Structure 1
Amino acid sequence: MCAHCFLQCLAGPFSKMAQDSVGFSSDYQFWMQKLSVWDQASTLETQQDTCLHLPRFQEFLRQVYEVLKEMDSNTIIERFPTIGQLLAKTCWNPFILAFDESQKILIWCLCCLINKEPQNSEESKLNSWTRGLLSHILSAFRFDTKEVGLFTQGLGFAPADYCPGLLKNMVLSLVSELRENHLNGFNTQRRMVPEKIRFLSRVCIPLVTLPDIEPLVEALLIYHGHEPQEVLWPEFFDAVNEAFLLKKISLPISAVVCLWLRHLPSLEKATLHLFDKLISSQRNFLRRIECFLKDSLLPEAACHPAIFRIVDEMFRYALLETDGAPEVLAAIQVFTRCFVEALEKKNKQLKFTFKTYFPYASPSLVMMLLQHPKEIPQELWHQPLKHISEMLREMVEDQTHGSYGGPFECWFLFVHFGGWADIAAEQLVMSEAEPPEALLWLLAFSYSPRDRSLQRAQTMTEVKAVLGHLKKLFRSPTLSAKDLQAAAAESQARDPRPPLCQKLIRRLILNFLLWAPGGHVIAREVITLMAPTDELTHEMTGLLDQTLYRWDHLCMEAPKSRKLARELLEELCLAGTAC
Structure 2
Amino acid sequence: MSQLQPVIQLQQMAELMLNIPDVQLWLNKAVAWGRADSQDTQRDTCLHLSRLKDFLQKLLSDINNKSSTTETMKRLPILGRLLGRLCWNPCVLADATSRGLLFQCLWGLYSEHPGNALERKTNQWIQKVLRLLAAEGKEGAAEALMKHACVPPKEYHLRVLRKKVELLQQNIGRSCSSLGDISQRCSCDDMRATSEACVPLVTCPEAAPLIDALLQKPVSCVRAALSKDFLDALSAAYSCDCVSLEEQSVVSLWYHNLSSLEEAVLSLLERVVTNTGLKPVEVVQRATQSLLPKACAQHCSIFLVVSDIFRSILKQTEGSASVWYLIQTFTICFLRQLNLQQHQMRTSMKAFFPQSPQSLLVPLLTLPSDMPEEAWRSHLNWLSGSLQRLTEEEEERDGDSSTRGLCTVFEAWFLLVQCAHWVQVAVQLLVTSGPEDCLPLLWLLTFYHHPTNRGHRRAEQLVRAKEAWHHMHSAFLVSVHPPPVDGLQSLAALFSPHPQQQSPSPLSILNLIVNFAAFARQSLSASTEILQTVVDRSGLVDEAGSVLSSLKLTLNEGSDANRVLLRIKALEDTLTHPHTPPPHTHTH
In the superposition, the TM-score normalised over structure 2's length comes to 0.64
Q: Secondary structure at the match of 1:342?
A: helix
Aligned to 1:273: 267
Q: Which has the larger radius of gyration?
A: 2
1:540 aligns with 2:551: no
Q: Give the structure 1 partner of residue 170 of structure 2.
A: 176
Offset at 1:367?
0.2
The answer as to whether partners of 1:54 and 1:96 remain within 8 angstroms in 2 is no
SS of equivalent to 2:343? coil
* Pairing partner for 1:520 from 508, 518, 525: 525
Output aligned runs, 1:33-432, within 5 Å.
99-100=133-134, 147-148=150-151, 167-180=161-174, 191-192=186-187, 194=189, 196-223=190-217, 224=219, 226-227=221-222, 231-246=225-240, 248-281=242-275, 283-303=277-297, 304-348=299-343, 351-399=346-394, 405-432=407-434
Whichever residue aligns with residue 309 of structure 2, its letter is: M
In the alignment, residue 323 of structure 2 is paired with which amino acid?
V
1:147 corresponds to which letter in structure 2? C
Q: Is structure 2 residue 483 aligned with structure 1 residue 480?
A: yes
Task: Output the amino acid matched with 1:313.
Answer: D
Shift of 1:438: 1.2
Provide TM-score, normalisation by structure 1: 0.65
Q: Residues 321 and 232 from structure 1, CA distance in 2 versus in 1: closer, same or farther, beyond 3 angstroms?
A: same
Hey, what's the Cα distance between the residues in 2 that align with 1:292 and 1:547? 18
Write the distance in 1 (CA, Å) between the matches of 2:534 and 2:346. Answer: 52
Distance across 1 between alignment mates of 2:457 and 2:570: 35
Q: Return the letter of the residue paired with 1:295.
A: Q
The whole-number CA distance in structure 1 between the counterparts of 2:282 and 2:139 is 49
Contact 2:528 2:571 in 1 (8 A): no
- Assess, with a 3 A threshold, how the Cα gap between structure 1 residues 391 and 409 changes in structure 2: closer, same or farther: same
8 Å CA contact retained: 1:208, 1:240: yes
Paired position in structure 1 for 2:32: none
Measured on the aligned residues, the alpha-carbon RMSD in Å equals 4.5
Q: CA deviation at 1:569?
A: 5.5
Percentage of pairs with the same residue? 27
**Match for 2:460 among 458, 461, 473?**
458
Q: 1:307 deviation in Å?
A: 0.9
What is the aligned partner in structure 2 of residue 156 from structure 1?
none
SS in 1 for 2:555: helix
Q: Distance in 2 between matches of 1:481 and 1:99?
A: 92
- Quick one: structure 1 residues 101 and 239, their matched pair in 2 at CA, closer, same or farther if it must change by over 3 Å? same
Deviation at 1:373?
Answer: 0.8
* Equivalences for residues 489-528 of structure 1 within 5 A: 489=493, 495-516=499-520, 517-518=522-523, 520-521=525-526, 523=528, 526-528=531-533
Q: Which stretch shifts more, 427-436 or 267-276?
A: 427-436
Q: Deviation at 1:492? A: 10
CA distance in 2, matches of 1:270, 1:163: 34
Which amino acid is 1:397 matched to?
E
Deviation (angstroms), 1:398? 0.8
Amino acid at match of 1:427: L
| Distance (Å, rounded) in 1 between the aligned partners of 2:147 and 2:321 | 60
SS at structure 2 position matched to 1:329: helix
Amino acid at match of 2:296: A
Match of residue 439, structure 2, among 428, 437, 440: 437
Provide the C-alpha distance between the structure 1 equivalents of 2:163 and 2:180, rounded to a whole number of angstroms.
18
For 2:214, give the aligned amino acid. Answer: L
Label 1:187 to 1:350 Cα distance change in 2 as closer, same or farther (>3 A).
closer
Distance 1:432 1:473 in 2: 14
Distance 1:564 1:496 in 2: 38
1:153-173 deviation digits (Å, cap 9, x = unpaired): xxxxxx99x987765553333
AA matched with 2:568: R
Deviates more, 1:413-422 or 1:453-462: 453-462
For residue 388 of structure 1, report the CA deviation from its aligned partner. Answer: 1.1
